Structure 1
Amino acid sequence: MAFDKRAMVLVMVAHIMATMQLTVAVVYKVGDSTGWTTIGNYDYKAWASSKNFKVGDILVFEYNTQFHNVLQVTHDQYRECNTSTPLATHTTGNDSIPIKKGGHFYFLCGIPGHCQSGQKVDIRVASKTAPSPGGAAPSPGGAALSPGGADLSPGGAALSPGGAGTPSTPESTAPAPSVSSPLPSKGAFGFAAVTVAIFAGVVAY
């Protein structure tokens, strides 16, 4: 009788483990090692189209705050490089923006002339989070983290009125961080730990 009970629990645990989805969030540094800049005429459109953004991923904009900022804007503002009424303004130089929902998200630099020079990016996020087959590694420029989950919505620091001119001095860029493989989220580790504990309890019984 004890054997049947153990076998039943083992089957249940195996079923739960087999159907469990491991959620993987990836941190994408916008522009990879180039970062967020106007130097080198970087193609942010090509960069974004080479990525598979999902809900839970995090966008990181790294830039020199003396020369750049990040504005989240509407599609029309993005097309026209209109910086007058952004949805959100980011000015830290190391802005982390978690993705909480699917859709298109538009970002540009609010310094005059930068958007027109190509410093803008359209992030297309899949509507549903799809599991990675076999825990495949992220595309280049992505490092794994467990999902944070703040919405891509209005908020952030206000842009100061000064410093609106185009800089004449070159900016410095920081070296690119190393890329790591994706890690399962904390929830998946917790779930696996509970499953192992239940199994150990049944076996000991």
Structure 2
Amino acid sequence: MASLFMGSCRFVLILTLFSTLQLLFVDSVEFEVGDDKGWVLPSSKNNEIYNQWASKKRFQINDTVRFKYKKDSVLVVTDAEYEKCHSSYPIFFSNNGDTIFKLDRPGLFYFISGVTGHCERGQHMIIKVLEPESPPSPGNQNSTSGTSGQSGAVGMAAIPSTIIMQFIFSFLGFLFI
């Protein structure tokens, strides 16, 4: 019975360590555009559905967006072409029904449907990719040294609570082996 308990503790420990490592190395996320609806012509009552969808997401560099559609296309265009809902020379074009586009830089990406009339009826989207987070600087220091009122404290980088909890559970797992 004790060996069964020891085996299950080791399994839990290995599973916890694996999930901790997975959290540390995740560097991108794939978003499915429109969630379960996909990249389709919006209903007439809500022609900003894709911009509303994108505004609820936090896109980072190296994330990908997946467009699933039938008999349509996806174009990445300039902001001027986005406003016109037309592009003769898009930055990117795909019409394979399952398009994956990598967000490879911070800033705005402009997507439109290539089917005539679809963009004007709401099948368009702007995605904002956030700037990479830089580590916090150790306080706002003045250019003159020895200024009174400055503390000697150094700012610490924030560690996500999920990583802290995984570490605690991993440590507890070692105690039961």
TM range, smaller chain: 0.5 to 0.7
Cα pair distance change 1:38/1:23, threshold 3 Å: same
| SS state at 1:32 partner | coil
Aligned residue among 78, 85, 89 for 1:85: 89
After TM superposition, list the pairs within 5 Å mapping 1:26-175 onto structure 2. Answer: 26-40=29-43, 41=46, 43-64=49-70, 66=71, 68-128=72-132, 133-135=160-162
Counterpart Cα distance in 2 of 1:24 and 1:128: 11
Give TM-score, length-normalised by structure 2. Answer: 0.59
- Listed one character per residue, the Cα deviations across residues 1-59 of structure 1 (whole Å, up to 9, x for unaligned) are xxxxxxxxxxxxxxxxxxxx644311101111110000434611100100000012111
Cα pair distance change 1:95/1:132, threshold 3 Å: farther
The answer (yes or no) to whether the contact 2:106–2:130 under 8 Å persists in 1 is yes
Counterpart Cα distance in 2 of 1:95 and 1:57: 14
Counterpart Cα distance in 2 of 1:100 and 1:85: 20
Letter in 1 for 2:82: Y
The answer (yes or no) to whether the contact 2:112–2:124 under 8 Å persists in 1 is yes
Question: Across the two proteins, how many residue pairs are aligned to each other?
Answer: 116
Structure 2 alignment gaps of length 5 or more? 1-23, 135-157, 164-177
Counterpart Cα distance in 2 of 1:119 and 1:25: 25
Letter in 1 for 2:160: P
Structure 1 alignment gaps of length 5 or more? 1-20, 137-205
Letter in 2 for 1:59: V
| SS state at 1:59 partner | strand
Shift of 1:83: 2.3
Counterpart Cα distance in 2 of 1:77 and 1:126: 22
Query: Which of 113-122 and 75-84 deviates more?
Result: 75-84
- Listed one character per residue, the Cα deviations across residues 134-161 of structure 1 (whole Å, up to 9, x for unaligned) are 459xxxxxxxxxxxxxxxxxxxxxxxxx
Letter in 2 for 1:51: K
Counterpart Cα distance in 2 of 1:88 and 1:96: 11
The answer (yes or no) to whether the contact 1:63–1:94 under 8 Å persists in 2 is yes
| SS state at 1:33 partner | coil
Counterpart Cα distance in 1 of 2:99 and 2:31: 11
- Percent of residue pairs bearing the same amino acid type: 33
